[in-house]
Amino acid sequence: MASLTSIINVNVPTEVKEEATILFNDLGLNMSTAINMFLKKSISEWAIPFEVSAKKPTHSLRKALKEGEDILNNKVDSKGYHDVDKMFEDILNEDRN
CB distance 48 to 39 below 8 Å = no
Which pLDDT does position 57 carry in this prediction? 84
Position 52: which residue type? V
My answer on whether 77 and 41 are in the same domain is: no
- 20 pLDDT tier (thresholds 50, 70, 90): very high
Give 27-77 pLDDT, tens digit per residue: 999 999 999 999 999 999 999 998 888 788 889 999 999 998 998 898 988
Q: Tell me if 22 is assigned to some domain.
A: yes
| Full residue range of the structural domain in which residue 81 is found | 59-96
Task: Tell me how far CA of residue 9 lies from CA of 6, 12, 14, 69, 89, in angstroms.
Answer: 10, 10, 14, 41, 60
Pair (33, 69) in one structural domain: no
In a domain, 3, yes or no: no
